[in-house]
């Protein structure tokens, strides 16, 4: 069952510059445990570098067919 009350809204796109104080995403959770799980997953979804990557990655990498 899908819980439509939870989810996340991403603040940064691939290749954008991120400063230490910037928000990566907003998490919508029913409780603190759900928030902590989502925050950990989001933290691990990002990669950080001292220098910008040459060129930008496409927003859509591939289309999945059902």
Residues 10-57 pLDDT 10s: 887 767 778 888 888 899 999 999 999 988 988 888 777 777 667 666
Q: What is the pLDDT of residue 36?
A: 92
Listed in sequence order, the DSSP H helices in the chain are: 32-45
DSSP element (H, E) containing 21: none
Q: What is the pLDDT of residue 57?
A: 65
Q: What is the pLDDT of residue 59?
A: 64
pTM, whole model, 2 decimals?
0.59
* pLDDT band at residue 63 under the 50/70/90 scheme: confident
Contact call for residues 41 and 53 (beta carbons, < 8 A): no
The percent of the chain in helix, strand and coil, each rounded to the nearest 5, is: 20, 10, 65
- CA dihedral defined by 45, 50, 52, 57, rounded to 10 degrees? -20
């Amino acid at each position: 069952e899908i819980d439509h009350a939870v989810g996340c809204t991403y603040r940064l796109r691939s290749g954008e510059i991120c400063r230490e104080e910037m928000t990566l995403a907003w998490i919508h959770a029913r409780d603190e445990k759900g928030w902590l799980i989502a925050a950990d997953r989001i933290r691990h979804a990002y990669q950080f570098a001292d220098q910008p990557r040459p060129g930008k990655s496409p927003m859509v990498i591939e289309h999945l067919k059902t």
